[in-house]
Amino acid sequence: MAESNHGTGGLKFDKKKIGWPNELNIFIALIIIILIFEALGQSLPYMKDQSFLFDTRDRFDSIFNEARLRIIILQVSIIGIIALGVTQVIISGGIDLSSGPLVGASAMIVMSFAQTELVNGGPNPKAVFGEWAFDLPVLIPVIIALAFGALIGAINGSLIAFTRIPPFIATLGMFLICRGIAQAWTRGKPVSFPTEGYAALGSGMMPVYWFIGLAILFHFVLKYTLYGKHTYAIGSNEDAARMSGINVQRHKVMVYMVASMLAAFAAVILSSKNLTAQSGMGIFYELYAIAMAVIGGVSLTGGRGSIIGTVLGAMVFGVIQSGFTYIKLDAYYQLMAMGAIIIGAVVLDKVRQERAALRT
Amino acid sequence: MTDIILETKGLTKHYGGVHALSDADFVLHKGEHVAIMGDNGAGKSTFVRQITGVEQRTSGTIRFDGKEVNFSGPIRAREAGIETVFQTLALADDLNVPDNLFLGREITMCNWLGPFRLLNYRAMRQATLEGLERTAVKIPNINNTIQNMSGGQRQCVAIARTATFPSKLTIMDEPTAALGVQETEQVENIIRTLKKAGDPLILISHNMRQVMDLVDRIVVFRRGRIVANLNRDETDGQDVVAYITGAKTGAEYEGAA
Ligand SMILES: Nc1ncnc2c1ncn2[C@@H]1O[C@H](COP(=O)(O)OP(=O)(O)OP(=O)(O)O)[C@@H](O)[C@H]1O
Ligand SMILES: [Mg+2]
């Protein structure tokens, strides 16, 4: 539609001037970070001219170091699934700190419904329940995971929507509760030996496929459905959303339910991949998921961000993590550097906000 | 009595100890354009908030379109046919023009999907362009987010929203307060369009010229009370100002009917 001369006060609108999406910036940042690690690999004395992402063994089938790429996306995809849910929570103007411990609790509970009866001919040494819980069809543990996630999310959402407790506090409480559940479930003992069907859910590259599939689904949901539009609207201006007739309370409950269901599903994939569940699973996942979203341009003040951004943010996160290992940075320093990067991303968001505010 | 669209009796609102609105008796006839004037803090916006269900009144009754009404929220008022431009613009900054126009009443497809039903962007965009066309509001790019617009453009969006949907009563709370000359003219044209269409309007404004130009009747609020009810043709700016400032009191005031 040609409306470029529909100007208020004679202002002209230049169509070419728009359309520089924030996602492109993150993509460029991703490339720059990769190049930095490449350069470090070439220049650090102890690195012996290794390459970060490219193949150094002069094979002809691929220019990339596939093993490392594979590790990066595998590492990223399980937390990435959580980050998809966290993205919509943050867009709605909230925050969810409970997702990491929820992964632990869900993994413990769900694995108990996914155990085999016989291990190497003998009875399962890690059995949690009696006979009835052995060799159940894979759908049952998955449904239990989603139901448990929905329950936790409904509690989070209801606390936030109806009692107006700040999301930070409500989900922090749930953080402790979930970690408690995870530890109480078997008094700290791991739960292992899943059925073949369950083990298949997260084997090989399956976590990556789940992540990509869910990312596409939620990209669509946020962009093209009523649910998505209202999520943005609430995060952008909650009063306006309410005045426009959106049932803000009900919507918030839904948003937190979806987030927790995704976290519980991530627990399924993680425990399936590891073939075991431990009460300490998912430590720091809530922060890493938030970091992926924030690095991906999701604004902590709500109303802004996208799934594409979060997926790119997850890639940046994975590349940085893997890059630290690649340049042999100690784990302690890795943690510190990660923290600095998260703070940096939030500061960047703040600067962006203020620049936007200045314009008006 | 059948030509009365809105009538309030004894409408009162207290915020704790603040008597923001006391005993307001107000009548609006079909097709009539009424201005509400008064100093800052006189209770004008409070009056609107009670009618539209944004807040729950302390006491009093409201009759709208022949029935006594108790709106539990602005959405109920809108469903009943009251379109309101609130003084604090109810727009979502990160959404664009069509999204804001249709916020809370989106055109959707595949409605069996419940909350996950699909947005019909094309239809909303089309309706937005038509609505802007009808109200002669000019906005450079409707795909722009509200955040990137000037205060005047935002105001135009908020007003276009009320004018895009059919309604029985339109309420505008200081619609031109932040506007330049051109935008003010646009809004005044929208108001004239409403008048021609016979749609009733309550206009809150501090702009005497505008009020004298546009409306049939002026109701003056002072310190939470209605102190004057003047026909435009029988009054002048000085008279109205006298009531606003309290130089003249409501002695001659004989009820709004
Ligand atoms: N939520 C509230 N809590 C307490 N007092 C309030 C509240 N809202 C309004 N008031 C008070 O009620 C009085 C009337 O306010 P109102 O907003 O109706 O004024 P107004 O006539 O619209 O003024 P203006 O022309 O500045 O918009 C003011 O004294 C205001 O301070
Ligand atoms: Mg006001």
Question: How many structural domains compose chain B?
Answer: 1
Domains in chain A: boundaries: 24-31+67-351
- What was the pLDDT predicted at B98? 94
- Å from A57 to nearest chain B CA? 49
Domain membership of residue B222 (yes or no) is: yes
Average pLDDT over residues A56-72: 71
Q: Identify the residue among A225, A246, A261, A355 best suited for mutation to test binding to B, counting B beta carbons within 10 A and taking the highest.
A: A225
Q: Which stretch of A247-256, A339-348, B122-131, B200-209 has the lowest confidence by average pLDDT?
A: A339-348
Residue that wins the pLDDT comparison between A216 and B153: A216
Q: Is the pLDDT of residue B34 over 60?
A: yes
Q: Is the CB of B87 under 6 A from ligand 1?
A: yes
> Candidates B45, B84, B211: which one to mutate for ligand 1, based on the most atoms within 8 Å of Cβ?
B45
Question: How does pLDDT run across A130-166, given as a tens digit for each residue?
Answer: 778 888 999 999 999 999 999 999 999 999 999 989 9
pTM of the predicted structure, to 2 decimals: 0.86
Question: How does pLDDT run across B230-246, given as a tens digit for each residue?
Answer: 999 998 888 999 999 98
Residue that wins the pLDDT comparison between A135 and A14: A135
CB A63 within 8 A of CB A55: yes
| CATH for B11 | 3.40.50.300
- What was the pLDDT predicted at B179? 81
- What was the pLDDT predicted at A58? 57
- What was the pLDDT predicted at B95? 94
Say how far apart CA B187 and CA B135 lie, in whole Å. 8
Average pLDDT over residues A11-15: 49
Average pLDDT over residues A164-172: 95
Among A44, A180, A40, A34, smallest CA distance to A102 is for A180
- The atom of ligand 1 lying closest to the CA of B39 is 25
- What was the pLDDT predicted at B246? 86
Residue A226 is which amino acid?
L
Residue that wins the pLDDT comparison between A298 and B255: A298
Question: How does pLDDT run across B103-118, given as a tens digit for each residue?
Answer: 988 999 999 999 999 9
Q: Which stretch of A150-164, A204-218, B8-22, B76-90 has the lowest confidence by average pLDDT?
A: B76-90
Partners of A360 on chain B (C-beta within 8 Å) are 147-151
Q: Which stretch of A207-211, A356-360, B40-44 has the lowest confidence by average pLDDT?
A: A356-360
- The vertex-B65 CA angle with B62 and B68, nearest 5°, equals 35
Among A285, A288, A287, smallest CA distance to A105 is for A285
Q: Is the pLDDT of residue B128 over 60?
A: yes
Q: In chain B, positions 171-210, which contact chain A (CB-CB < 8 Å)? A: 180, 182-183
Predicted ipTM of the assembly? 0.81
Say how far apart CA B219 and CA B224 lie, in whole Å. 12
Say how far apart CA A218 and CA A321 lie, in whole Å. 25
Q: Is the CB of B88 under 6 A from ligand 1?
A: no
Q: How large is the angle between the packed helices A206-224 and A307-326, nearest 10 degrees? A: 150
Atom 5 of ligand 1, residue of closest alpha carbon: B15
Residue that wins the pLDDT comparison between A173 and B88: A173
Atom 16 of ligand 1, residue of closest alpha carbon: B43
- Å from B182 to nearest chain A CA? 7
Q: Is the pLDDT of residue A281 over 80?
A: yes
The pLDDT confidence band at residue A53, using thresholds 50, 70 and 90, is confident
Average pLDDT over residues A299-306: 93
Domain membership of residue B24 (yes or no) is: yes
- What was the pLDDT predicted at A121? 78
Distances from the Cα of B16 to the Cαs of A246, B20, B40, in angstroms?
28, 10, 19
Average pLDDT over residues B7-17: 93
How many residues belong to chain A? 360
Helix locations, chain A, DSSP H: 22-43, 66-91, 99-112, 139-162, 167-185, 196-201, 206-224, 226-236, 238-243, 248-274, 285-295, 307-326, 331-359
- What was the pLDDT predicted at B67? 92
CA of B223 to the centre of ligand 1 (A): 10
Say how far apart CA A243 and CA B48 lie, in whole Å. 13
Interface check for B75 against chain A (CB to CB < 8 A): the answer is yes
Question: How does pLDDT run across A241-277, given as a tens digit for each residue?
Answer: 988 889 999 999 999 999 999 999 999 999 999 999 9
Q: Is the pLDDT of residue B254 over 60?
A: no
- What was the pLDDT predicted at A4? 38
Q: Which stretch of A200-214, A289-303, A332-346 has the lowest confidence by average pLDDT?
A: A332-346
Containing structural domain, residue B211: 4-93+151-245
CATH T-level fold of A24-31+67-351 = ABC transporter involved in vitamin B12 uptake, BtuC (1.10.3470)
- The atom of ligand 1 lying closest to the CA of B21 is 14
Q: Is the pLDDT of residue A1 over 70?
A: no
The pLDDT confidence band at residue A55, using thresholds 50, 70 and 90, is low
Positive or negative CA dihedral for B60, B65, B68, B70? negative
- In sequence order, the 6+-apart residues with CB closer than 8 A to the CB of B202 are B6, B28, B34, B35, B36, B48, B169, B170, B171, B172
CB A351 within 8 A of CB A358: no
- Return the residue of A nearest to B75 by Cα: A245
CA of B87 to the centre of ligand 2 (A): 6
- What was the pLDDT predicted at B113? 92
SS3 letters across B6-36: EEEEEEEEEECCEEEEEEEEEEEECCCEEEE
Provide the 3-class DSSP secondary structure of residue B145: strand
Q: Is the pLDDT of residue A170 over 70?
A: yes
- What was the pLDDT predicted at B161? 84
